[in-house]
Amino acid sequence: MTKMEDLASPCNPTWCAGCGNFGIWGAFKAAAVQQGWDNLNSVLVAGIGCHGHMINFVRLTSFEGLHGRPIPVATGIKLANNKLNVFVFTGDGDCLGEGGNHFIHACRRNHDLTILLHNNALYSLTTGQASPETPHGTKTKSTPLGNPDEPFSPLALAIASGATFVARGFSGDMAKLTELIIKANEHKGLSVIDILQPCTTFNKDYTYGFFRENTYQLPQDYDPGNKVKAFEKSLEWTEKQIPLGILYQAEKPSYESQITQIKEKPLIENLVTKRDIQDLFKKYS
């Protein structure tokens, strides 16, 4: 059993007042308590950015990778011990810019990971430059005349690349986000939650008010098994028409479930034995 106090870290959050990362932090901890995630059954991996500080504020086993590289680290952890719940905390810059290649191939391989994509549409830690999610025309420090690039939908990319659980949450609705995090972790395969996360310091467009006014929950009768419909939904981003919830879910063998060497038991439960490999060297030299 995990209690809220077990997750309390000696470090107090350093995020700015009102930052959306607080909501993600609260939702993740609530999910951990409900599900009993602890140091023996779960690992958190983060990239570099404001989002990455998350692992300093939750007392669970964690690893902060290089910028853009939390997914390959998480993949390695999952392959070494496929019994673990492995959570990736990543930013839109980290996951879709620097780490875009890793994201695509993790989706394609359907690795059994839960990716929490803190999407504030900026590179915030480095003081608000344009990211792959910044709207066209937005003035930032790196685009003082207006962003000439178009953003893309991370959820459309995830569906097209082969992810099998694709959802969107809002950090301002912790209760719903907690549910999504639990469902994403229960899903066997690559789960991604695009989390709309206000950056109160640098993003003056994507505010709590903007998201409250412009998002809606997918209705009860929405069928997440319909891939074409899900793709259509993933491209919806207009006034009052930003869908929240599980857009797409499919059952497909995860990468890990197909690796025969870890079918019986995790890699780390195998005994390490010493072998003389001199004959091999001779054979191939």
Ligand X SMILES: Cc1ncc(C[n+]2csc(CCOP(=O)(O)OP(=O)(O)O)c2C)c(N)n1
| Residue 64 binds which of ligand SF4, ligand X, none (CB < 5-8 A, kind-dependent) | none
> Minimal distance in Å, beta carbon 171 to ligand SF4?
10
List the single partner that 94 binds among ligand X, ligand SF4, none, CB under 5 to 8 Å by kind: ligand X
- Smallest distance from the beta carbon of 129 to ligand SF4, in angstroms? 12
Q: Are 172 and 20 in contact (CB under 8 A)?
A: yes
CB of 48 to ligand X, least distance (A): 4
Q: Closer CB to ligand SF4, residue 18 or residue 72?
A: 18
CA distance 113 to 99: 15
* Choice between 41 and 142, CB closer to ligand SF4: 142
Number of H helices, E strands in the chain: 9, 10
Please say which residue, 121 or 244, places its beta carbon nearer to ligand X. 121
Cα gap 172→139, rounded to integer Å: 25
Q: Which does 112 bind (CB under 5 to 8 A by kind): ligand SF4, ligand X, none?
A: none
Contacts with ligand SF4, residue ranges (CB under 6 A): 15-16, 19, 21, 50, 120, 124, 199-202
Residues that bind ligand X (CB under 6 A): 47-51, 67, 91-94, 98, 118, 120, 122-126, 131
- Cα 157 from Cα 103, distance rounded (Å): 9
Comparison of 104 and 262: residue with beta carbon closer to ligand X = 104
Residue 15's binding partner among ligand SF4, ligand X, none (Cβ under 5 to 8 angstroms by kind) is ligand SF4
Residue 179 binds which of ligand X, ligand SF4, none (CB < 5-8 A, kind-dependent): none
Please give the helix or strand (H or E) that residue 31 lies within, else none: helix 21-35
Q: How far is the CB of 63 from ligand SF4 (least distance, A)?
A: 21
CA angle 73/84/175 to nearest 5° reads 95
CB of 55 to ligand X, least distance (A): 13
Residue 38 CA to chain centroid, in angstroms? 19
List the single partner that 91 binds among ligand X, ligand SF4, none, CB under 5 to 8 Å by kind. ligand X
Q: What angle do CA 237, 125, 94 make, to 5 degrees?
A: 60
Alpha carbon distance 78, 251 (integer Å): 19
User: Given the structure tokens 């497909």, which residue do they identify?
Assistant: 252
Q: What CA–CA distance (Å, rounded) separates 245 from 251? A: 18
Least spacing, CB of residue 70 vs ligand X, in Å: 10
Residues forming beta bridges with residue 117, ordered by sequence position? 90, 194
